[in-house]
């Protein structure tokens, strides 16, 4: 079976409601990425998805809830976590850097930029990063200050990602990914490995 046939079969198996919901979500990601959270409207997202405004509200409720669902930070932290803190640190950082390289104007990038001027966006960012990353990473950290160590590791990874893909600091933006990992992973690993080992 060809790729087109598989995609066509998946499309047929997806209900009309699922297709509409997916179209709205894809339109929301594009719209938030292009104009930001504050300037994006439900009406514009509906137009981009070729649905009426009431459909967006029916599936997602509010702009805030739609934005939350459109966040694509969604690294599968659980699958990236191993028994080796060094391997886990490399997995987390590599996944973040590769994800943001592939989607530089993602809703997550929009959320980060918007959080600098919007308390609502800052709160969404705090909640999202805490639940999707810090909580899960901290669960695998042994020894004292597990949550603080996970938060510091997350801050380092976020900082590297932001400087490389949003701010585009020349030394980081132009560096080879393997060089960034070679230098940064030991620092992150030192936070994640057993402090008593």
pLDDT top residue among 197 and 93: 93
With bands split at pLDDT 50, 70 and 90, how would you rate the model's confidence at 71?
Answer: confident
Give the residue with greater pLDDT, 16 vs 60.
Answer: 60
Q: How many helices (H) and strands (E) does the chain have?
A: 13, 0
Among 31-45, 79-93, 147-161, 177-191, which stretch is predicted with the lowest mean pLDDT? Answer: 79-93
pTM greater than the 0.85 cutoff: no
Number of other CB atoms surrounding residue 158 within 10 Å: 16
- Lowest average pLDDT, out of 3-12, 68-77, 91-100, 135-144, goes to 3-12
Mean pLDDT of 163-182: 93
Most confident option among 10-19, 62-71, 91-100, 152-161: 152-161
The DSSP symbol for 106 reads -
The per-residue DSSP string of 21-72 comes to HHHHHHHHHHHHHHHHHHH--HHHHHHHHTS-HHHHHHHH-SHHHHHHHH--
Sequence-ordered list of residues with C-beta below 8 angstroms from that of 4, at least 6 positions apart, any chain: none
* Domains of the chain: residue spans and CATH: 3-70 (1.10.10.60), 77-192 (no CATH)
pLDDT tens digits for range 175-188:
999 999 999 999 99
Contacts of 157 (CB under 8 A, 6+ apart): 92, 93, 96, 188
Q: At residue 166, does pLDDT exceed 80?
A: yes
CA distance 14 to 46: 20
Is residue 46 predicted with pLDDT exceeding 90?
yes
pLDDT tens digit sequence for 72-127: 655 677 788 888 877 888 888 888 888 777 666 666 777 777 777 778 878 888 88
Whether residue 192 contacts residue 81, with contact meaning beta carbons closer than 8 Å, is answered with no
Q: What is the pLDDT of residue 103?
A: 66
């Amino acid at each position: 079976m060809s790729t087109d046939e598989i995609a066509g079969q998946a499309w047929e198996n997806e209900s009309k409601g699922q297709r509409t919901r997916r179209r709205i979500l894809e339109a929301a990601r594009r719209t938030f990425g292009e104009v930001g959270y504050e300037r994006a409207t439900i009406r514009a997202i509906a137009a981009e998805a070729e649905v009426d405004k009431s459909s967006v509200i029916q599936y997602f409720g509010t702009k805030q809830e739609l934005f939350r669902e459109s966040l694509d930070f969604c690294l599968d932290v659980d699958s990236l976590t191993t028994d080796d803190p060094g391997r886990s640190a490399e997995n987390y950082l590599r996944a973040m850097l590769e994800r943001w390289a592939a989607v530089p104007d993602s809703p997550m990038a929009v959320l980060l930029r918007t959080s600098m001027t919007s308390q609502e966006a800052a709160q969404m960012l705090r909640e999202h990063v805490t639940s999707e990353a810090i909580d899960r990473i901290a669960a695998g950290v042994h020894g004292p200050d597990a949550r603080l160590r996970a938060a510091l590791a997350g801050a380092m990874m976020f900082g590297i990602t932001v400087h490389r893909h949003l701010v585009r600091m020349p030394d980081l933006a132009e560096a080879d990914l393997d060089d960034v990992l070679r230098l940064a992973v030991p620092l992150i690993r030192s936070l994640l490995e057993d402090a008593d080992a």
